[in-house]
Amino acid sequence: MRKHARGLGVAAAAMLLLAACGDDGGTSGDGDGGGDRPQIALVSKGFQHQFWQAVRQGAEQAGEEFDVEVTFEGPDSESEVAQQIDMLQSAIDRGPDALGFAALDSQAATPLMEDAASREIPVIAFDSGVDSDVPLTTAATDNRAAAALAAEKMVELIGGEGEVALVVHDQTSVTGVERRDGFVEYIEENAPGVEIVDIQYGGGDHLESTNLATAIIQGNPNLAGIYGANEGSAIGVVNAVNELGMAGELVIVGFDSGQAQIDAIRNGVMAGAITQNPIAIGYETVKAAVQALDGEELPETIDTGFLWYDATNIDDEEIQAVLYE
Footprint of other proteins on this chain (CB under 8 A)? Answer: 3-4, 7-8, 10-11, 14, 18, 21-22, 25, 46-50, 53, 76-77, 171, 197-198, 200-201, 205-207, 210-212, 214-216, 218-221, 235, 239, 242-244, 258-260, 263
DSSP 38: P
Pairing of strands 251-255, 98-101: unpaired
**Cβ nearer to other proteins, comparing 122 with 236:** 236
* 3 state DSSP class of 275: strand
Alpha carbon distances (Å) from 13 to 18, 20, 22: 9, 11, 14
Shortest Cβ distance from residue 223 to other proteins (Å)? 11
Shortest Cβ distance from residue 78 to other proteins (Å)? 9
Q: Which helix (H) or strand (E) holds 137?
A: strand 137-140
Shortest Cβ distance from residue 291 to other proteins (Å)? 30
- Contact of 97 with 121, CB cutoff 8 Å: yes
> What region does 47 belong to: left with phi over 0, alpha with psi -120 to 50, or beta?
alpha
**Cβ nearer to other proteins, comparing 45 with 287:** 45
**Cβ nearer to other proteins, comparing 203 with 272:** 203
DSSP 166-205: EEES-SSSHHHHHHHHHHHHHHHHH-TTEEEEEEEE-TT-
Shortest Cβ distance from residue 263 to other proteins (Å)? 7
Alpha helix (H) residue ranges in the chain: 2-26, 50-66, 81-93, 110-118, 143-157, 174-190, 206-219, 231-243, 259-266, 278-293, 317-320
**Cβ nearer to other proteins, comparing 61 with 220:** 220
Shortest Cβ distance from residue 282 to other proteins (Å)? 16
The C-alpha atoms of residue 315 and residue 83 are separated, in whole angstroms, by 38
**Cβ nearer to other proteins, comparing 43 with 298:** 43
Shortest Cβ distance from residue 51 to other proteins (Å)? 11
- Contact of 270 with 246, CB cutoff 8 Å: no
**Cβ nearer to other proteins, comparing 212 with 270:** 212
Total number of residues shown for the chain: 325
Shortest Cβ distance from residue 262 to other proteins (Å)? 11
Q: What are phi and psi of 253, to 5 degrees?
A: -120, 130
**Cβ nearer to other proteins, comparing 7 with 160:** 7
**Cβ nearer to other proteins, comparing 104 with 146:** 104
Shortest Cβ distance from residue 157 to other proteins (Å)? 23
Shortest Cβ distance from residue 104 to other proteins (Å)? 14
**Cβ nearer to other proteins, comparing 114 with 243:** 243
The C-alpha atoms of residue 278 and residue 298 are separated, in whole angstroms, by 20
Using alpha carbons only, what angle is made at residue 221 by residues 215 and 224, rounded to the nearest 5 degrees?
Answer: 100
